[in-house]
Structures are given as C-alpha cells and as structure tokens.
Structure 1
Amino acid sequence: MAPTPAGPTPADHALAAELAGRAAALLLELRRSHDPGGDPAVLRKAGDHQSNELLLAGLAAAVPADAVLSEESKDDPARIHASRVWIIDPLDGTREFGEPPRTDWAVHVALTIDGAPVAGAVALPALDVVLGTDPPATLAPPSDGPVRLVVSRTRPPKAATFLADRLDATLVEMGSAGAKAMAVVRGEVDVYVHSGGQYEWDSCAPVAVAAAAGCHCSRIDGSPLMYNNEDPYLPDLLICRPELAEPVLAALADFHG
C-alpha cells in the first residue's frame, strides 16, 4: 500500500469542491420545493440532515480511510489520532437558508492534515458560487474608502465593535461565517473578526479557502489556527486582507474582551 501523502493531493482539492457543489445543488432544490407557507424549521432540519448525509456518503466513497468531524454527526474521538481529517459544516447559516431569498449561507468542506487546513471549498449556493483551494479563489483588489468590517446580523462580537471603533470602520451585517469569510475574498468587505466563540466546522473550510487566496488568517492574537482538537470549540478568528493584517492585529492587541 502506498504511504499517505504528506500534503493534500489534487484529488483532495477536487473532492472538496465537488462535494460542496453537490450539497449546494441539493440545498437549492430543497429550498425550491419547500412550500413558501410551510414551517421554515422543517426546511432547515431537512437541509442540515440531507446535506450531511450527502457529504458523509461522498467522503466514505472517495476517502474511506480518512476521519470526519461534522457539525451534524456524533463526534468520534478516534479522529484525534488521525492525520487526515475532513471537517464539514453541511449547512452554515441554517437560519438564513430558511429565509428565502437570503443568500448569506454556505456549505463547508475542508481537509486538515495534522491539524492544518490544507484543502477545502466553500459553496455559496444561492449565489451559484463555489470557492476552492486549487485552483485558489482570486482575491478581489482593495477598495477605496473606510475599512469595511463584516459582523453578525444579530450579535456583533465585542472584538468586532472594538475594532470598528479603533479603525473607524464601516459595519456590514451578514449571516453565516462562511458567507462572511468569502465576502473578504470576494471584495465585499475587508475584515472578518469573531470573538464570541465558534466551532471548528464554522471556520475550517473558510480559512483554507481564504488563506489559499492570499488573505491573512489567524487567531485574534496572531497565532495560527489549528484544527482537529479534542474540544472543537474555537474561541476567536481573524480573516482579513493581507495589507490590513498588521494594523488590525496591532489594534486587537489592546482588546481584552
């Protein structure tokens, strides 16, 4: 048997994009077929479940020896000892998915090797977009005007409001973590910072895609983002344009939230 490669293969990058795209198509069909007068909770539950089943089946067929961590499945502690672990969020932004015609929801598929996010894809189904790591997404050019900082629709994290004050930034509200991160890549915003606590599946694929595009990705103290930890809780996150990393991290050094 051939040894496991030290890094991701072209097939890994392709698999992430393929599965994210297939899950996106399934979710769009669920949304189209749902009775507009029906209970949105039913649509959200179906989306979470069916997308998860599709991704798990696809991974089992293509890379049966790899471990998987999914938001929608019971955690298997054996993954801690695996080198190759796929981290997936079958439907990031379930709330927004259940509110047609909102577009700020996503599908996350990422591969980590020894904790590093090395391949992945984020689908934005309602925008008919899949952004991957090979070929990498193209980072949009910088914009004129004030820094644009993306925040949650409901509860902007303290780090974001602190940073907005320090940088005199404009706040842009958006739903899912994947949509926020891809908004940086796509040039809709400049900075995504989160300090309210997330889980690894919320950011793993977005970080893989954003980093491949040339964005700065780290914890808010500048330390690396590492995945496949025993506890998948991830306290904070920074994704921003590369030229803003230094001033953003300098400002966050004074944040004590």
Structure 2
Amino acid sequence: MPAPDDDLALLTDAAREAGRIALRYWRKSPDAWEKADGAGPVTEADLAVNRMLAQELRAARPDYGWLSEESEDDPARLEAEHVFIIDPIDGTRAFLRGEDTFAHSLAIARRGRVVAAAVFLPALGRFYSASLDTPAQCDGAPLAVSPATRADGATLLTSQAGLRPGLWPGGVPAVRRSFHTSLAYRLCLVAEGRYDAAITLRDAFEWDIAAGDLIARQAGATVSDKLGRPLAYNAPTPRAAGMLAAPPKLHAALMTRLSVASPPGSAG
C-alpha cells in the first residue's frame, strides 16, 4: 500500500500537469455550457483536465476508487479502501471570467479520511499540499492558521447569503467578509492564515472540500460541517452539510452563533 507521501507525490505531478492543460484554455473563450439540473457551468477545459487525471491517476493506482465532479459516478468506489476525490477545475465560473483564482483540487481518502491533498492555482503559480505525514505547505513553506479567537472582527470567506440573519440565531458576527468562487482556495487561504475562517451553509460536494480540508487541518484549523460534525468522505451521496474551517477557538465561537439547521442550498 503506497504511503501518504507517495500518494502526495503522485497528486503533485498530476496537479501541475492539470495546470498546464487548463492554461491552454484560460482567457481563450473555451467552449462552455450549463449542466443539467442547475449544476453550474462546465467547459472543454474541465473535461480535458478530467480525462488526463483519470488516465494518469487510475493507471498509477488501479485499485483506488474514483470520484470526480466531471465523471459519471461509479458505485464501485464505495468498496475501495482508497478513493481519488477530484475537482478538475474548482471555480469554473472564475475560470470563465478570466480570473486567476480557479484551482485544481486533488485528494486521496482512505476509509473516509483524507490522507493526501494537493490544490494548485496555476494562474497564480501557487501550490498547496499536505498529507497525514507532512505539514500543510504553500510552495514548500509551512502554513499555520491565524491566531483569531473571536467571531466579531474576524475575516470570513463566505457569500453575502451566508450572513443572512435567519441563519445566525446567536447573532450575525461582525466580520469582514470576502469571497472566492473556489471552495478549495478558500480553505487554503484559511490554512495560510490570510483569512481567519471560511464557511458555506449550503451543501458542499466532496470534490470541492476534500483536499482543502486536509490542508486546513494540517495547518491547525478545525474543519467540520455546519453542525460541527467532522467531515467524512466517499459517502454514497458525496455531499457534506456545509463546511466551517477556522482556528479551534474561533470555530467554537462561530458555532455558538449558527442555527441548528439550515435548509440545503440556502446559503453559500
């Protein structure tokens, strides 16, 4: 069985190749269309990256399961001890707008727990990584979350809808809000300490959060769903009930403000 470090090396090479492919299409008006059921846009670049990742990663680890936003789900992944959890381009809307904050999010989970993760932002040349055996890093430099402990005054990555008063019965915290389309990048920014916390109260697909979850946790963050429960992966329905990542004391402070339950899809 490959060690997490061996898996991380595999993900690292694959993520960098994904970046080379994506940049061939970036700011060049790639073909794009809307997925069914309001699932958002997809481009020819997403599919090209996905094809390469599926070919390279599955050839390297043929006994690993496969879960990708751009692949038809194969229930056989549920029987695999290890599974790839892949978002070929996280932040497709940002990619289409020519913004530089789209990411490739690659993770490997073992028995529901992420053991290796890589998040690459090729337009920024920024590479985040972690494994169970290695600390969170950005371009080789170690990462650590911010020292923030109080909800009021924290810098928070979330959508405007995520701060609707009805979702915060303990009172909406007086935060400084920012937003990026890519959930993986939001988690990495928390790991880096550039922002104090990231939250989405909408259901979050596993491929959006798996890699960033490990990177944030290895940098010292507490990462949970919106109810405070630890995240688990390779579920039959691969969605989490929201996501909250923050330094431990700040995480606890934000949880005291949150509603017990928010309707799925109600906030970003």
TM-score by length of 1: 0.85
* Counterpart selection for 1:139 from 139, 144, 154: 144
Percent sequence identity is: 30
Contact 1:159 1:255 in 2 (8 A): no
Cα separation, 1, equivalents of 2:32 and 2:189 = 27
Which position in structure 2 is the counterpart of 1:56? 54
Deviation at 1:22, TM superposition (A): 1.5
- For 1:41, give the aligned amino acid: A
Query: 5+ residue gaps in structure 2?
Result: 34-40, 138-142, 263-268
**Structural mapping, 1:111-126, within 5 Å:** 111-126=108-123
Post-superposition CA distance 1:94-153 (Å, at most 9, x none): 0100111x1221111000000111111111122101100135221254479920111137
Say whether 1:23 aligns with 2:28: no
Cα separation, 1, equivalents of 2:182 and 2:83 = 23
Which position in structure 2 is the counterpart of 1:79? 77
Cα separation, 2, equivalents of 1:159 and 1:166 = 6
Q: Residues 159, 105 of structure 1: CA spacing in aligned structure 2 closer, same or farther, 3 A cutoff?
A: farther
Give the SS at the match of 2:43.
helix
Which position in structure 2 is the counterpart of 1:92? 90
Deviation at 1:47, TM superposition (A): 1.3
Contact 2:135 2:219 in 1 (8 A): no
Cα separation, 2, equivalents of 1:198 and 1:89 = 12
- For 1:175, give the aligned amino acid: T
- For 1:97, give the aligned amino acid: F
Q: Residues 107, 243 of structure 1: CA spacing in aligned structure 2 closer, same or farther, 3 A cutoff?
A: same
Cα separation, 2, equivalents of 1:159 and 1:13 = 41
Say whether 1:167 aligns with 2:162: no
Give the SS at the match of 1:75.
coil
Cα separation, 2, equivalents of 1:175 and 1:104 = 8
Cα separation, 2, equivalents of 1:181 and 1:107 = 13
Deviation at 1:165, TM superposition (A): 4.9
Deviation at 1:220, TM superposition (A): 2.1
Greater than 4 Å deviation, 4+ residue runs: 157-161
Cα separation, 1, equivalents of 2:113 and 2:231 = 8
Contact 1:106 1:124 in 2 (8 A): yes
Contact 2:68 2:85 in 1 (8 A): yes
More helix by share: 1
Cα separation, 1, equivalents of 2:224 and 2:239 = 15
Which position in structure 2 is the counterpart of 1:186? 192
Say whether 1:11 aligns with 2:18: no
Deviation at 1:242, TM superposition (A): 3.1
Deviation at 1:166, TM superposition (A): 3.4
Deviation at 1:164, TM superposition (A): 10
- For 1:152, give the aligned amino acid: S
Q: Residues 159, 217 of structure 1: CA spacing in aligned structure 2 closer, same or farther, 3 A cutoff?
A: farther
Q: Residues 67, 108 of structure 1: CA spacing in aligned structure 2 closer, same or farther, 3 A cutoff?
A: same
Cα separation, 1, equivalents of 2:20 and 2:203 = 29
Cα separation, 1, equivalents of 2:49 and 2:166 = 31
Cα separation, 2, equivalents of 1:53 and 1:27 = 12
Give the SS at the match of 2:158.
strand
Deviation at 1:46, TM superposition (A): 1.4
Query: 5+ residue gaps in structure 1?
Result: none
Say whether 1:130 aligns with 2:92: no
Deviation at 1:72, TM superposition (A): 0.3
Cα separation, 2, equivalents of 1:159 and 1:208 = 30
RMSD: 2.6
Deviation at 1:255, TM superposition (A): 4.3
Which position in structure 2 is the counterpart of 1:218? 224
The number of residues matched between the two structures is 245
